[in-house]
Structure 1
Amino acid sequence: MKLSEQTVLVTGGARGLGRSISRALAREGAKVVINYYKSGEAAKALAIELGQSVVAIQADITDPAGVGLMFERAKQHFGGPITSVVNNALVEFQFNGDARKKLDQIAWADFEQQLRGSIAGALNTIQTAAPAMRALRFGRIVNVGTNLFQNPVVPYHDYTAAKAALLSLTRTAAHELGPDGITVNMLSGGLLRTTDASASTPDFVFDLIAEQTPLRSVTTPEEFADAVLFFLSPWSRAITGQNLIVDGGLVKD
């Protein structure tokens, strides 16, 4: 199915990386559901900016009932089901190495919060999307991960553990859903220049990363979004259960 024929849900699609993904999808002619939780003004403004093929819908992705209602509203709006999901939403997190909780400070509740956002959120969208995808014999699920569990240059314990768990879910879901024509993949970025979550990162950190990266630059949200388009496109139809690192060559998996 071409991108222009797909209806794509982007969780956390109004800000940061999600905003860039939503814009890239709209540029390619896809119908886009911008999910938001608290960023109502930003989501609605972005939907207006991107035009009639885009709708902003509020939902807490950790709430199965709320996710179900979001899918139903999207179906009513576009006249057909969501065919593709980008699990991008990030729960209350800032990439600030100086302010991070160290190992002797962090609590299990911090891990639970990140796991709830990454795993419960993805599980809810996948479970809700799967019936319609099975009926279509087509589905694309893209989970957003991190290169930090290959290279924990800054030890964000809770965030990194949750994304590592999301990779496991990516691979087990790919195995189970593959016979139904549904692919499930992960794209793992490094620090992106710049999103809301990385806005507090000092410039010298970005510069240090750029010096160590073969492309001598820090990946932008727009560059990452283009890689998301590949995994949603027909050109990735034989790829599933994979984790592609999108960081300019900094980390080798």
Structure 2
Amino acid sequence: MNQHSISDQVVLVTGGARGLGRRISQAFLREGARVAVNYLASRAAAGELVAAHAGRAVALQGDVRSRADMERVVADAAEAFGAPVTTVVNNALVNFSFDGDARPAAGEITYRRFAEQFEGSVGGALNTVQAALGDFERAGYGRVVNIGTNLFQNPVVPYHDYTAAKAALLSLTRSLAKDLGPRGVTVNMVSGGLLRTTDASAATPQAVLDAIATGTPLGSATTPEELADAVLFFASPWSRSVAGQNLVVGGGLVMD
């Protein structure tokens, strides 16, 4: 397999304007990639990020739950940069806040909540990858990095719907890796713990973050920047022979 440096890549980051997605977008831009910053409603945040990286970033609105939207986003990204999309980071998180006290417990949660998370995490990833397959073929290779969680290995908080959807996304990661590998496309997952701090985790009490940090061998809660750097690994030539893997980036709280 040929090596393709990050600086040669056209990267689509879903939910790339805020929180963890913004840090992922910034990490790729730092390494010289051209980045399509996908957003649903965060137009101002996306525009601010693009303005800071004129010529190397473009803001593209689209709902990952819509295949038509993602077809348009991929086409617009390729047109903006004059080159096919080579790398997809499935980061978008639909309608979820990491506030354990406010989440419904086992006796209260409805399947509709699960369906909403499946549609965002699994459906969104599938829509985006399928939309990018033509570009991968034109480029001669592809990189897909899905964002997961360590909660399906260590479910310390009752995020039943979110956790189940991310576990399903790991299964999709592995089945896509098997199916798309012969086409030169690698598919992997990077799973974080509770990050200090993103928009989604801002609702988490500091005492919980401190407890998580204390429980890790490294004695700290993972930052969005640290997780973003791990995403770069799976897009880089250094991981060209890695497929279907789940890398947990959480200070060693979960070892798998």
TM-score (norm 1): 0.99
Aligned match for 1:107, one of 106, 110, 116:
110
Which runs of structure 2 are paired with 1:132-143 in the superposition (5 Å)? 132-143=135-146
| Residue pairs, 1:139-150, within 5 angstroms | 139-150=142-153
Q: Secondary structure at the match of 1:195?
A: coil
* Correspondence 1:68 to 2:79: no
In structure 1, how many angstroms separate the alpha carbons of the residues matched to 2:65 and 2:143?
20
Question: Are the counterparts in 2 of residues 134 and 182 from structure 1 also a CA contact under 8 Å?
Answer: no
Matched, 1:35 2:53: no
Deviations 1:66-88 (A, max 9, x none): 11111111111101111000000
1:1-253 → structure 2 map (5 Å cutoff): 1-253=4-256
CA contact 1:10–1:85 (8 Å) conserved in 2: yes
Write the distance in 1 (CA, Å) between the matches of 2:19 and 2:71: 25
Letter in 2 for 1:79: G
Runs of 5+ in structure 2 lacking a partner?
none
* Deviation string, structure 1 residues 208-233 (Cα, Å, up to 9, x no partner): 01111011000000000000000000
Deviations 1:91-146 (CA, angstroms, capped at 9, x unpaired): 01111111011111111110010000001100011111112212332100000000
- Partners of 2:104 and 2:158 within 8 A in 1: no
Amino acid at match of 1:252: M
Cα distance in structure 1, aligned partners of 2:25 and 2:138:
25
Q: Secondary structure at the match of 2:187?
A: strand
The one-letter amino acid paired with 1:52 is G
Q: How many residues align structurally?
A: 253
Secondary structure of 1:169's partner?
helix
State the 1:154 CA deviation.
0.5
Q: Which runs of 5+ in 1 are unaligned?
A: none
Letter in 2 for 1:70: V
Q: Distance in 2 between matches of 1:145 and 1:240?
A: 15
Alignment partner of 1:50: what SS?
coil
Residues in 1 aligned to 2:140 and 2:39: alpha-carbon distance in whole angstroms: 28
CA distance in 1, matches of 2:182, 2:108: 45
8 Å CA contact retained: 1:23, 1:50: no
After superposing the two structures, state which structure 1 stretch, 49-58 or 86-95, moved more. 49-58
Amino acid at match of 1:174: A
Report the 3-state secondary structure (helix = DSSP H, G, I; strand = E; otherwise coil) of the residue aligned with 2:143. Answer: strand
SS of 2:16 mapped into structure 1 = coil
Q: What amino acid does structure 2 have at the position aligned with 1:218? A: A
Q: Shift of residue 188 of structure 1?
A: 0.4
